[in-house]
Amino acid sequence: MAASSSASSNDRYTLYGAPGSGATPVHAALTLIGAQVDTVDVSPWESDSERERMSGVNPMQQVPALVLPSGEVMTESAAMLIWLGDRYPEAGLCPTPGDPLRARYLRWMVYLPAAIYSLYWVRDDPTRLTPDPAAQAVMLERTAERIAHCWHLMDTQIDEPAPYLLGEQISMLDLYVTVLSRWTPKRRRFYREAPRMARVVRRVDADPRLADFWAARFPFTMDQETQKD
């Protein structure tokens, strides 16, 4: 991956989202790009007061939200990652519009929030869809199974990693999968359902360029996975 340009190192962003949240892949990308990032830790899934903190930034009261150097606000993690990849081509984090891999890249960048990430809106607070505790338990179980199934489908359809999901270089797609694969039903299940992608996320976990970032914003070990999955 090319070294960050002076333009990227001079750019400053404000990123809303708690450690380990959907803001994490965006923050990881900005770290590799070399841009300056101010973080505002907000956890809207925890309380009404936390949701209210986001009202003036994102009317949907969700994170992540990214304030660009221009002052414009972006929402939707996939949109942020795609935009940043195009904004900083020298970082080599995405295929360019003329690259044969571009269609594949866009397919999977949209698949992740559409098929997997969106289910966490339900999982974060099952009362959003039903007040019945028994129904909530079923919903949590079935959404976890759906997420695992979606990982399996992606693993069987994506090309053999070599060594990353789009070839020789780490990309936004690798960062996105790595973070989401740490969420429920967690890595042990992910490794079973997606053995080919498992090699990629382990590689991204261990990337020395992200070591300090992971330690500060989303520390992870398999020992944390104590619940049955």
Q: What is the 3-state secondary structure (H, E, C) of 99-144?
A: CCCHHHHHHHHHHHHHHHHHHHHHHHCHHHCCCCHHHHHHHHHHHH
Structure tokens at 46: 């925890």
What pLDDT is attached to residue 40?
Answer: 98
Q: Within a 10 A sphere around the Cβ of 50, how many other Cβ atoms?
A: 16
The dihedral sign for the CA sequence 45, 22, 217, 58: negative
Q: Is 77 left (phi over 0), alpha (psi -120 to 50) or beta?
A: alpha
Bridge partners of residue 37, in order along the sequence = 13
CA distances from residue 99 to 1, 102, 147, 166 in whole angstroms, order as listed: 16, 5, 30, 11
Task: Convert the chain into a string of H (helix), E (strand) and C (coil).
Answer: CCCCCHHHHHCEEEEECCCCCCHHHHHHHHHHHCCEEEEECCCCCCCHHHHHHHCCCCCCCCCCEEECCCCCEEECHHHHHHHHHHHCHHHCCCCCCCCCCHHHHHHHHHHHHHHHHHHHHHHHCHHHCCCCHHHHHHHHHHHHHHHHHHHHHHHHHCCCCCCECCECCCCHHHHHHHHHCCCCCHHHHHHHHCHHHHHHHHHHHCCHHHHHHHHHHCCCCHHHCCCCC
Q: Which domains does the chain have, with CATH numbers?
A: 12-91 (3.40.30.10), 101-207 (1.20.1050.10)
Contact present, 194 and 174 (Cβ < 8 Å): no
- Residues of the chain under the 70 pLDDT cut: 1-7, 223-229
Burial group, residue 211, by CB count within 10 angstroms (0-12, 13-18, 19+): exposed
